[in-house]
């Protein structure tokens, strides 16, 4: 049999005493948590361990004795330590001894109540008690195999140390009858600033929770469900981002305690993400209002809009002629060109009508950057959508005309083959047509076929313009999703205190060898940065396209409208 003894490295210089910890019979291992020094009263030790077990729900008991003879070895002390095994009655009784500053220790077991005592091979494993208690062991990605079994065994060790935090509250300065050595023996770590922040956070969170509940009630009221407000709330990305941040604030200000490590890390990641977002927004706002940059931006916006409108007019004039030497249907070409030119004329009039108020609008819009950089980016995306609304209208008109002709040609093509589309059964069935129907179908098919190139050219040009606008808005949404979903607190924790995020496996390095005793040291392998992002990534409100490239090309060919960066009513985790 192999006996594993997990010994805290902070107790290697402790005075002689008894070892308290947890015995894990399934793994035939002992987890040493602290050393109780002499002198002590066994009854008081048992009462203290019973109280600790009641609070922590961990079966803490006396596992053996610890002897640290800094001078010559005393036989009376060793005999006394062996006699303690009859008082506390633990099988096996572990005896660990160290002489002075020697690197080699003596480790053995006593089995007084066993009929066939066997000499066991002991593996003495050192571990950093502070790092193990503060770290969170992540399960392996593959839940099968030897790695998962080893991770489950190590998780019991980590869980034992983490749940025994009450045991580490007693230090050497306490006036109680029991003196312990553990990682906080020199004094319990505390900070006056942290304690003051904890006390001040309670009323602040209560006030914030009340204001957020009031704001949520206003958002859920029936006033916002009427057509204009509900339409704007569902279409503007700024409203979506504000609602998303409102949910984050509700999570942070909630008075419910985090049940596990994942919920605690989620709250911390949301809090740091909000702080960074607001800080970047304030920096952007300070940059905009410095040196009258908003006025320069407003003065530049109108000429840019006029230049874009002039380029569109030149493009339409080119399409109304003979683009690339192609011969179009002149009547339809003139009708479509004049129709779109009239829309551009309306758009220029609309822009010049708003030109006196643009600087004031931008001035108030810039103030929204104090709500966060993501809100400012969403407002920028909405402004781009409003400034390119005429391009969107051109795309919708061209797509509808092109889609109508494509479906009309496909339906008339089935008429030539003596078939029709069965709407009830959603399939193509055979059908007999008379001569008049075939004549009318042939006439319409010929008209649609010869008008298709003109419509397809306009559809192609405006689809490319629409895709250009969509790509710009998609890049802005990707940046917003990156800020919303990036677990900044976990990444900072991985950079500064990597042991807090223990990875899938832990390695042990041999330190020294002795007869029937192997001494090892636990080294914590931190979780990789990719694993940190994958584990603690925050959910976002936007959606990435679920359509494949084949389905997207099919929609473009058939003239169906596409919204590649967002699907209403879905959430992306």
Determine which helix (DSSP H) or strand (DSSP E) holds 420, and give its type and residue range.
Answer: strand 419-422
* Burial class (CB within 10 angstroms; exposed 0-12, middle 13-18, buried 19+) of 100: exposed
What pLDDT sits at residue 229? 65
pLDDT tens digits, one per residue of 222-248: 655 666 666 666 778 888 888 888 888
DSSP per-residue codes, 348-396: HHHHHHHGGGHHHHHHHHHHGGGG-HHHHHHHHHHHHHHHTHHHHHHHH
> Strand pairing of 106-110 and 93-99?
antiparallel
CA dist., res. 264 & res. 274, Å (int): 16
Q: Kindly state whether residues 297 and 174 are assigned to the same domain.
A: no
Model pLDDT, residue 515: 46
The string of pLDDT tens digits covering residues 453-464 is 999 999 999 999
The answer as to whether 360 is a domain residue is yes
pLDDT score for 459: 92
Q: Give residue 392's Cα distance to chain centre.
A: 34
Looking at residue 50, its pLDDT comes to 87
78 within domain boundaries: yes
Which residues have a Cβ under 8 Å from the Cβ of 73 and sit 6 or more positions away? 99
Are residues 146 and 292 located together in one domain of the fold? no
Of 122-131, 284-293, 362-371, 541-550, which gets the smallest average pLDDT? 541-550
Sign of CA dihedral 351, 357, 362, 368: negative
- Answer yes or no: is pLDDT of 135 > 70: yes
Across-strand partners of 22? 31, 60
Note every long-range contact of 494-500, with CB atoms under 8 Å and residues 24 or more positions apart, other chains counting.
Answer: 494/526, 494/527, 494/529, 494/532, 497/134, 498/524, 498/526, 499/128, 499/131, 499/134, 499/135, 499/524, 499/526, 500/134, 500/135, 500/136
In the block, tokens 């309670």 appear at 202
CA-CA distance, 463 to 559, in Å (whole number)?
9
What are the residue ranges of helices labelled H in 121-260? 129-134, 146-163, 192-219, 227-235, 237-252
363: tokens are 């001035």
CATH of the domain at 152: 3.40.140
Does position 360 have pLDDT exceeding 60, yes or no?
A: yes
Confidence grade of residue 214 (pLDDT, cut at 50, 70, 90): confident
Residue 222 — left, alpha, or beta (φ > 0 → left; ψ -120 to 50 → alpha)?
Answer: alpha
Q: How far apart are the C-alpha atoms of 62 and 43, rounded to whole Å?
A: 12
pTM to 2 decimals? 0.77
Task: Give the best-scoring range by mean pLDDT among 15-24, 118-127, 198-207.
Answer: 15-24
The kind and range of the H/E element at 413 are helix 389-416
In a domain, 268, yes or no: no
| Residue 430: HSE in the Cβ half-sphere, 13 Å Cα cutoff | 0
Residues 175, 295 share a domain: no
Closest CA to 267 of 251, 245, 250: 251
**Whether the predicted pLDDT of 71 surpasses 50:** no
Is there a domain that residue 439 lies in? yes
pLDDT at 570 over 60: no
Indicate whether 256 belongs to any domain: no
Same domain, 317 and 436: yes
Does a structural domain hold residue 156?
yes
Angle at 105 between CA 102 and CA 107, to 5 degrees: 165
pLDDT of residue 573: 34
Q: Determine the average pLDDT of the residues in 430-442.
A: 84
Task: Return d(Cα 438, Cα 444) in angstroms, integer.
Answer: 10
Residue of 85, 82, 92 lying closest to 119 (CA atoms) = 92
Between the alpha carbon of residue 514 and those of residues 104, 342, 456, 528, the distances in Å are 7, 94, 85, 36
Q: Residue 566 domain-assigned? A: no
Say how many domains are in the chain: 2
SS3 letters across 326-344: CCCCHHHHHHHHHHHHHHH
- Provide the domain limits for residue 47: 3-181
Output the pLDDT for position 102.
Answer: 66
In a domain, 162, yes or no: yes
Q: CA 218, CA 340: separation in Å to the nearest integer?
A: 42
Residue 277's pLDDT is 93
Strand partners, 108: 95
Looking at 144, 166, 181, which one is the last position of a domain?
A: 181
Last residue of a domain, one of 147, 181, 215: 181
Q: In percent, how much of the chain has pLDDT > 70?
A: 80
Please tell me the predicted confidence (pLDDT) of residue 374: 92
Q: How far is CA 212 from CA 218, 255, 322, 559, in A?
A: 10, 13, 61, 44
Domain end (from 154, 181, 208): 181
Mean pLDDT of 73-102: 68
Q: Which two tokens stand for residue 492?
A: 């900072």
Please compute the mean of the pLDDT values over residues 62-80 and round it to a whole number: 66
On the question of pLDDT at 46 being above 80, the answer is yes
Categorize the per-residue pLDDT at 41 as very low, low, confident or very high, splitting at 50, 70 and 90: confident
- For residues 175 and 304, membership in a common domain is answered with no
Looking at the structure, tell me whether residues 16 and 162 fall in a common domain. yes
């Amino acid at each position: 049999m192999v006996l594993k003894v997990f010994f805290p490295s902070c107790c290697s210089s402790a005075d002689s005493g008894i070892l308290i910890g947890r015995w894990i019979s399934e793994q035939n291992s002992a987890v040493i948590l602290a050393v109780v020094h002499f002198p002590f009263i066994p009854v008081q030790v048992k009462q203290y361990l019973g109280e600790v077990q009641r609070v922590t729900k961990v079966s803490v008991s006396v596992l053996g004795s610890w002897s640290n003879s800094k001078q010559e070895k005393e036989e009376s002390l060793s005999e006394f330590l062996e006699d303690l095994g009859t008082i506390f009655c633990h099988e096996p009784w572990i005896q660990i001894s160290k002489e002075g500053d020697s690197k080699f220790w003596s480790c053995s077991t006593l089995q007084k109540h066993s009929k066939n005592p066997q000499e066991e091979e002991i593996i003495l494993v050192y571990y950093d008690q502070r790092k193990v208690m503060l770290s969170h062991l992540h399960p392996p990605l593959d839940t099968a195999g030897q790695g998962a079994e080893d991770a489950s065994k190590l998780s019991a060790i980590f869980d034992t140390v983490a749940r025994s935090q009450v045991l580490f509250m007693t230090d050497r300065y306490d006036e109680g009858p029991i003196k312990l050595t553990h990682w906080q023996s020199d004094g319990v770590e505390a900070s006056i600033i942290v304690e003051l922040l904890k006390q001040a956070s309670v009323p602040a969170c209560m006030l914030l929770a009340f204001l957020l509940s009031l704001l949520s009630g206003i958002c859920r009221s029936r006033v916002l469900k009427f057509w204009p407000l509900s339409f704007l709330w569902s279409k503007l990305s700024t409203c979506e981002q504000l609602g998303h941040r409102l949910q984050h604030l509700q999570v942070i200000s909630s008075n419910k305690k985090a049940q596990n490590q994942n919920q605690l890390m989620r709250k911390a990641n949301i809090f740091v993400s909000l702080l960074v977002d607001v800080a970047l927004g304030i920096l952007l706002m300070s940059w905009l209002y410095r040196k009258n940059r908003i006025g320069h931006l407003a003065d530049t916006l109108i000429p840019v809009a006029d230049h874009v409108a002039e380029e569109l007019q030149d493009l339409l004039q080119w399409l109304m002629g003979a683009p690339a030497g192609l011969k179009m249907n002149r009547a339809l070409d003139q009708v479509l060109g004049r129709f779109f030119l009239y829309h551009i004329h309306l758009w220029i009039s609309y822009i010049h009508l708003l030109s006196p108020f643009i600087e004031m609008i931008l001035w108030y819009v810039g103030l929204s950057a104090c709500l966060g950089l993501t809100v400012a980016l969403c407002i920028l995306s909405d402004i781009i959508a409003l400034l390119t609304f005429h391009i969107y209208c051109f795309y919708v008109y061209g797509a509808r005309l092109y889609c109508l002709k494509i479906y009309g040609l496909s339906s008339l093509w089935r008429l030539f083959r003596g078939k029709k589309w069965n709407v009830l059964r959603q399939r193509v069935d055979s059908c007999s047509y008379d001569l008049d129907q075939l004549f009318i179908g042939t006439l319409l098919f010929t008209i649609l076929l010869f008008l298709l190139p003109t419509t397809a050219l306009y559809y192609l040009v405006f689809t490319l313009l629409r895709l250009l606008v969509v790509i710009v808005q998609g890049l802005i949404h990707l940046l917003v999703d990156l800020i919303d979903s990036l677990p900044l607190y976990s990444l900072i924790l991985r950079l500064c205190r990597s042991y807090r995020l223990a990875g899938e496996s832990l390695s042990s390095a041999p330190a020294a060898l002795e007869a029937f005793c192997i001494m090892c040291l636990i080294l914590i392998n931190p979780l990789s940065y990719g694993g940190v992002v994958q584990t603690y990534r925050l959910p976002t409100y936007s959606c990435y396209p679920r359509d494949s490239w084949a389905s997207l090309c099919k929609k473009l060919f058939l003239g169906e409208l596409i919204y590649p960066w967002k699907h209403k009513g879905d959430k992306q985790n």
